[in-house]
Amino acid sequence: MKQYTKGRPEWNFLEGIFNRIPLAYPIISLIIALLIFLIYSIFMFVIKIEDFQYDPYFCLQVLFSSAFIAYLIGCNQYIINKIRHSVQKLEFIPGKEKYGAVLYDLLEKNFTKSKRYYILIFAVILPFILKDLLEIYILKSATYEECFFSDPFFNVYNYSIFFFSLYLLTNTVWIILNISKILCIAAREPYASIIKLDIFCPDKIGGLGEMRSFIINIIIYYSIGISLAVLAYVDPSGFRTVLFEVAFLILLLAAGLVILISGLQELQKLFRKRVEQELTQINKKYRILCERLVDLASVESNGKNNDELKFIITAMEFIDKERIKRETLLEDNGKRYSITATFAAIYSFALVLFTLYEKLNNFKIIDLLLNIFSLTFDILVSLYLKLII
């Protein structure tokens, strides 16, 4: 596989840290999560914050927050590594291999040099800053002020972790945007005509099935990330009290889903454009043969004409079969895209809404399932003991 990067790439701040630590990034993400949880534990059990309520819920929130951060760190780096590999793996027709390096350079430039990244960070974090300022200076919530000023070190740490999680979530959205953008570029000229595709590949998308599966996986990863955010930062005390957080997370989910599905659509366009080009060529050849057939049928028949007529009819039948094959490919491709997009949308929203419902209702369904499992297990054990005795 041809490599277009020089040395170890650094496409974001965290990747620069990973490159300087001799450990795999999943291990680093777990270490960071453990450190976050440990520092929270120090505040809770060693320093003993006065306003802290020692209940299992807060400990669970800390655990979910740590898991959320570890998940985003590891998942973001995995997606970056995977998209680099996927773009490098694209094959081009002979003589056009240099465009692979050009496409990869465009991807890297979008990641590292675009000013829109900072605009996106500002757009994600600003609403929460404004919300907190509103609560402090306008609503004058006594409970909130007491909690905020009682232990400044804890609150600085707590807010730092919260904004770090928002930064990671912004990185996820940024990665999704750039993946969709590079697929949009690849689906346009000159790349659309020079990327190697096998239209009869079993994956039904010209050999781009791995890329399609990758995008679907990102949708799943992203919806799991939003679900973890719900578990970490949505207070189960009531829906009205968390309306802002819920609306924000649902908006992020919807935006990410639209961007990813549009990227999937660009991938489909790349394949469909190639099939449509072949269909155009087939229709052109069929039209030429049809015109020749009409000309031959209008003149006096002889042995030579009859042989040519038979050849043309056979050729037209063959071409017609090839045309039907490609039309079937287009129809099947359209159905697959619709099914995939529908599944992705339903799965993503169902997972997040189920998590939200469970969080606001103290995990009633999960608790019920666990009780059923426990009861079933007890029954099976008792039956087994009776059989062996």
Chain segment 34-83, per-residue pLDDT in tens: 999 898 888 777 765 555 555 566 777 888 889 999 999 999 999 999 99
Q: Which residues of 201-219 are buried (b: 16+ CB within 10 A; e: fewer)?
A: eeebbbbbeebbebbbebb
Return the closest-CA partner of residue 236 out of 245, 226, 223: 245
Q: Give dist(CA 60, CA 37) in Å, integer.
A: 10
Q: Give dist(CA 348, CA 285) in Å, integer.
A: 46
267 inside domain: no
Which H or E run contains 80? helix 56-89
pLDDT at 196: 86
The residue ranges of the chain whose pLDDT is under 70 are 1-8, 47-57, 135-151, 236-241, 299-305, 362-389
Return the closest-CA partner of residue 34 out of 65, 72, 77, 75: 65
Return the closest-CA partner of residue 86 out of 211, 260, 209: 211
Residue 22, class by beta-carbon neighbours within 10 Å (0-12 exposed, 13-18 middle, 19+ buried)? Answer: exposed
148 inside domain: yes
User: What range does the domain containing 152 cover?
Assistant: 13-196
**What tokens were used for 115?**
């000013």
**What tokens were used for 41?**
């534990």
Instruction: Please give the tally of structural domains in the chain.
Output: 1
Other beta carbons less than 10 A from residue 387's beta carbon? 7
361 inside domain: no
pLDDT at 31: 92
**What tokens were used for 138?**
């306008």
95 inside domain: yes
43 inside domain: yes
208, 276 Cβ separation under 8 angstroms: no
68, 229 Cβ separation under 8 angstroms: yes
Residue 103 phi/psi, 5-degree rounding, is: -65, -40
Q: Give dist(CA 173, CA 177) in Å, integer.
A: 6
57 inside domain: yes
377 inside domain: no
Contacts 24+ apart (CB under 8 A), 207-216: 208/267, 208/270, 208/271, 210/86, 210/89, 211/86, 211/183, 211/267, 212/264, 212/267, 212/340, 214/82, 214/83, 214/86, 215/179, 215/260, 215/263, 215/264, 215/267, 216/264, 216/340, 216/344
| Three-class secondary structure assignment of 140-176 | CCHHHHHHHHHCHHHHHHHHHHHHHHHHHHHHHHHHH
Return the closest-CA partner of residue 192 out of 128, 244, 267: 267
Residue type (1 letter), 199: I
> DSSP class of residue 47?
I
Q: Give dist(CA 98, CA 190) in Å, integer.
A: 12
273 inside domain: no
Cis peptide preceding 152, ω within 30 of 0 = no
Other beta carbons less than 10 A from residue 61's beta carbon? 18
**What tokens were used for 89?**
């793996």
326, 275 Cβ separation under 8 angstroms: yes
What is the Rg, in whole angstroms, of the alpha carbon atoms belonging to the chain? 29
168, 77 Cβ separation under 8 angstroms: no
pLDDT at 241: 60
